[in-house]
Amino acid sequence: MRLVAEHEARAAVRERGGILYVWPKASRCCSALTYTLETGTTPPPAKEFLRVHEEDGIEVFATRGLLEPQELHLEVGRRGKLRAYWNGQAWIG
């Protein structure tokens, strides 16, 4: 996996401890179940994570069973919220 992130996103993760957690979030759209990525620098409760990547001082942990993308895109959104995209796409599958 390759981490694609601008300096601002990498700095935000490092400032918060250097660990990034990534997990899928299920949503319903047009009567179909779709998945997007949620991300944070602290793990949500009741989820088990495995270390899947380390690059440039950032450790990436993903939930068990989540297949690694070729690229994990990371950006800082509004109000400093970290956002992750699977191979540059909002939806994963």
- Is residue 21 a part of any domain in this protein? yes
- Is residue 91 a part of any domain in this protein? no
Mean pLDDT of 10-18: 95
Q: Quick one: pLDDT at residue 39?
A: 92
- Is residue 93 a part of any domain in this protein? no
Domain count within the chain: 1
CATH number of the CATH domain containing 78? 2.60.300
Q: Which tokens in the block code for residue 8?
A: 């601002």
Dihedral sign computed on CA atoms, order 87, 81, 29, 24: positive
Mean pLDDT of the chain: 88
Q: Quick one: pLDDT at residue 29?
A: 73
pTM of the complete model = 0.86
Q: Is the pLDDT of residue 38 over 70?
A: yes
